[in-house]
Chains A and B, each alone.
Chain A
C-alpha cells in the first residue's frame, strides 16, 4: 500500500505551495503519495497545472473549512 507524506502549505501564498511541493516530491518514492494542504485559492488551478506539466498525477482533491487537500502520486 502506498505511503502518504503530508506537506502543510497552509498560510503560504503563490508561488510557495507549488515551490514547496516541487521540493518535497523529490523525497517521495515513486508510486507513493504526497498530500499538500493549502489555503491559497489560486492553488486549485496551480496544482492541476503543475500535475499536468510534471507528470505527477493528481489522484485526489478536496476542500474542508477553507483548506484544500491535493493528493499527488510521485511518477
Chain B
C-alpha cells in the first residue's frame, strides 16, 4: 500500500461474544460511512463466530454484562438494532471492508476456508496482516 493511499483502520477481532462483535461491526460501519478503508483480522473465538453454520446464531455476552446487560442488549434488538453480521454486510456494500481469517487460528479451530461465511475474503498469516495493515491504526477487540 503506497503512502498516498489512505491507510486502513485495522481491527484484530479475538472475542466471540455478541457485544464485542457488535462493537466491532459499528466501528467498521462508521469507518465505511466516512470512506475510510477497514482491514479486519479474525482470530480465535471471533473467527469461530464467522463459521457459515454459526454466523446467524445467538452468541453470549462477555461475563461483565450480567443479567442487566443481557436485558439491555435484548431491548436494543427488540427496538430494531441489526445483528453484528448484518451490520458488517451493510458496511461491506458501502465501503472498502476487507475481512481476513488468521491462518493460525484456522489451525487452532481446525476449520477450512469453505466452512467460513462469504463475509470472509481470505486468509492471512501475521506477516501478511502487518503488510496489509500498512501504517494504519491497529485495534484489538
Residues of A within 8 A of B (CB): 11-16, 18-19, 21-23, 49-50, 53-54
Which residues of B, 20-38, contact A by the 8 Å Cβ criterion? 26, 29-30, 32-35
B94 close to chain A: CB less than 8 A: yes
Query: Does the CB pair A11–B90 fall under 8 Å?
Result: no
Query: Does the CB pair B94–A19 fall under 8 Å?
Result: yes
Query: Does the CB pair B91–A19 fall under 8 Å?
Result: yes
Question: How many angstroms from the CA of A15 to the CA of B82 in the assembled complex?
Answer: 10
Query: Does the CB pair A19–B79 fall under 8 Å?
Result: no
Q: Could you count the A-B residue pairs with CB atoms below 8 Å apart for me: how many are there?
A: 42
Given contacts A18-B33, A19-B29, A19-B32, contact A13 B94 (CB under 8 A): no
Give 1 or 0 for each of B83-103: 1 = CB within 8 Å of chain A CB. 000010011011100000000
Give the size of the chain B interface in residues (CB under 8 angstroms). 18
Question: How many angstroms from the CA of A16 to the CA of B29 in the assembled complex?
Answer: 8
The one of B29, B34, B80, B95 that contacts A53, using a Cβ cutoff of 8 Å: B34
Task: Please give, as numbers and ranges, the residues of chain B lying within 8 Å of A14 by CB-CB distance.
Answer: 26, 30
Query: Does the CB pair A15–B76 fall under 8 Å?
Result: no
Query: Does the CB pair A50–B33 fall under 8 Å?
Result: yes
Task: Please give, as numbers and ranges, the residues of chain A lying within 8 Å of B87 by CB-CB distance.
Answer: 15
Question: How many angstroms from the CA of A15 to the CA of B81 in the assembled complex?
Answer: 10
Chain A residue at smallest Cβ distance from B91 = A19
Task: Please give, as numbers and ranges, the residues of chain A lying within 8 Å of B35 by CB-CB distance.
Answer: 22, 53-54
CB-based closest 10 A-B pairs: A22-B33, A15-B29, A18-B33, A15-B30, A19-B33, A53-B34, A15-B26, A19-B29, A13-B81, A22-B94
